[in-house]
Amino acid sequence: MRKNYKSISCLLTAALVLTAAPFHADALTKPKLNKKKLTMRVGQKKKLAIKNKKASQIKKIKFTVKKKNIARVNKKGVVTALNEGNTKLVCKVTLKNKKTYKLNCKITVKEAESTVSTATPGASAAAGVAGTPAASTAASVKPGSPSMKPNASGTPVHTDAPDVTQKPSAGPDGSITPDNTDAPADTAKPDNTPDTSKAPADTAKPDNTPDTSKAPADTAKPDNTPDTSKAPADTAKPDNTPAASKTPADTAKPDNTPEASKTPASTDTPDTPGTPSPSSQGPHLSANGILTSDNGVMRTGIDAYDIVKEMGVGTNLGNTLESCGTWIDTSNTSNYETAWGQPVTTQEMIDGMKAAGFDSIRIPVAWSNMMADDGTYTINEKYFNRVETVLNYALNADMYVIINIHFDSGWWARFGSKTEQERKDAMTKYKTMWTQIANRFQEYSDRLIFESANEELGTRLNSTDDYKGSGYYAKDDLDSLYKLTNEINQTFVDIVRSTGGNNARRFLLIAGYDTDISKTCDLRYKMPTDTIDSHLMVSIHYYSPATYCIVDNPKNSWGYDASWGTDEDIKALQSELSQMRISFVNKGYPVIIGEYGVADTKISENNFVRKEGRDLFFRSVCEFALENNMCPILWDCSRVFDRRNLTMTNEAEKALYIEMNEKAHHSELVKPSVSDDGYHWTGTVANSNWSASSASASDSNSTFIITKNGGCFTISGIDWSVFKNPVLKLTCKESSGSALFRLANQVDTSNQSWHHLYDNGTGVISEKNISSGSTISINIPLDDMTATQNLYFALANSSDFNGTISVEVVEN
């Protein structure tokens, strides 16, 4: 059919005249940035703004930069220059009429004007130190395969998780606790075995156990022979450094005792809370002759919450500088660095981790390696140089860095030695080592964080498996082990602060009890006192459930899970991590999840496959952490990020960590209001088949903890010493069904894995029915109760109950 186009044209013209909206001149103009190019010096800040559009027309503006190690931009368009280089900024503008525009700005960052004159001519921070072996020189290992640990013969063998045959025992609180949690003192665990404080007693111990009766100093061979190899640590101090810029020889090795005359003034720079600090000031030599780009700035006006927010998501340099064992050749540091199957660390490797989305890195260290057997506990200078070189790789990449004293051949168990002098010597060693470490790294900026310990503070201090001469404390004397743990952590803080300079303001990470959530939330665990407010964080590790995260053998006698990700799995994770939010985040201490991970399934020797749901587990940990003032740090030994090929091993996880990085940088920091507003908890509890099914807090301001514990529920985190006549008030807001609420101050632990209230009524305080809308009150007798005692309750006379309850404990 022929169309009358002339008639249609007339009609359209008329329609436009009748229906067109009022014309605005600026409706046809596109938004623009006030700058298309920015040239900046390292450390400078400049603001970008939108032109040609009124604020009333704009719905949303989002700024991003392509290379976050060159520059950063906040949501207000303030650009901070971090390191020399070029990058592109993209500003996405969404108008209220739903049109979107992408505006670009080229950013060029030049060297800061105040570059230190001692920089090596032509040196590049990214290039590292001359003589550093390339990653390709290490033995080839299949990408993504498990790491390696030594057997008795000294030959590394593949391992991803320990061979487990027995179900772990449970502590008094019902949590899984091993009787023997690590390898013998002189072989140590290659720490790609996730959190062995939750692994079975005999899982990490090699079949051929070497003699562990020797002290750590006895197991290290004195380093009397000059190292002629080209190991990174030995070449860390460039030979072509101008003589005038070299550090005098007598200052390279700090004294064990800090002196006021050696303490430089703290380098403080006021800053806006939450604003990242450029860590780079251009390549120069540290006080110890190590190439660095760190600016040494300690910002004021920020606290631990700001630091944890900026740390984003992190990773561990696992099985590397913490590798230890008497079978390792002591002639150079690279023998230790590669002993447990990882390649020599390079700048390119750390840059790859940064590009993969990791903004922080934890570097575990065994400082006893290469230590002379002279009783002075002096850290080997070559090992110091290598650690400093590697941590500078991370600082050069604009990452936060955590260093600690790790397992370190198990000398920690000497704190529980049956010989009094050995117990004293253990504390002397701890003090001497941290005095040296703090003095050595005193000059570095607030991007360097010290961690008091690894997993050894707690039951491991008394471990006869780590040291045969240990066992001074009775197995049930947890009060003494908590007291000792608190003393060690307080000693750590006191030593670091006493060294002065930047260390007077350094952010410190305090190791939890066994780094276990429930044990760290026990009221017997105390955070240290400090000389500066809000500069402490607390560390725990998360490998739950153990049958998924730790067990690699499908035939394991006490359980094995090949997959994770049900609604119940996710609720359990959130409930467990919520305990840290209630006990620490809400009380002034942000949390660092220093390790989390998932063991691969072992099909046969040297043949492992990735478990189903690993990316969802990683996502669930990261999302909860980032939303609750926590920093998640992945335990990895090339299984997630392949250090040889410098790539992520899984596409889903590659996208995940980029997404989590974006989430960390673009989410708003919400600091909890730190106050003591009494004891209250709101959430859901469920009972199924006559046993506790789940407990999950729904109120982020809850101030104590309710958890599922075998056949019943545990109420923990209440200090009964503040009460004279306490009353527990429970309101059942809504529920499916009714139940008999039975409250007790004792629980039957005859079955260590399945706690329940005594059938004969022992310890029962009260029994009352609850259902939707009901409220009950129960007087709590303080006779025979300790200040930190838990309460327990069961939901009896009901096979299925699911309810939202509110519980508070008040003075009558």
Query: For residue 49, what are its two tokens?
Result: 């703004």
Can 84 be counted among the known catalytic residues? no
Residue with the two structure tokens 């930190």: 788
Residue (of 314, 194, 193, 308) closest to 632 by Cα position = 314
250 membership: H or E segment, kind and range: helix 249-252
> For the stretch 664-690, what's the b/e string if a residue is b when 16 or more beta carbons lie within 10 angstroms of its beta carbon?
bbeeeeebbeeeeeebbbbbbbbbeee
> For the stretch 765-786, what's the b/e string if a residue is b when 16 or more beta carbons lie within 10 angstroms of its beta carbon?
bbbeebeeebeeebebebeeee
DSSP code per residue over 543-585: --SHHHHT---TT-TT---SB---HHHHHHHHHHHHHHHHHTG
Are 629 and 305 in contact by the 8 Å Cβ rule? The answer is yes
Residue 444, sorted as left (phi over 0), alpha (psi -120 to 50) or beta, turns out to be: beta
Helix spans in 397-525 (H): 420-440, 478-498, 517-520
Distance between CA atoms of residues 627 and 668, nearest Å = 9
Distances (CA, A) of 359 to 62, 106, 347, 425, 662: 21, 23, 15, 38, 11
Residue 61 amino acid letter: I
Distance between CA atoms of residues 524 and 122, nearest Å = 55
Q: Residues 329, 330, 333, CA angle at the centre, nearest 5°?
A: 105
Distance between CA atoms of residues 346 and 337, nearest Å = 12
Which residues neighbour 78 within 8 Å (Cβ) at sequence distance 6 or greater? 45, 46, 47, 48
Which residues neighbour 294 within 8 Å (Cβ) at sequence distance 6 or greater? 279, 280, 281, 286, 392, 395, 444, 445, 447, 448
For 303, phi then psi, to 5°, come to -130, -175
Q: Which of 84, 337, 443, 595 is catalytic?
A: 595
Q: Which of 388, 455, 456, 653 is catalytic?
A: 455
Can 595 be counted among the known catalytic residues? yes
Catalytic residues: 455, 595
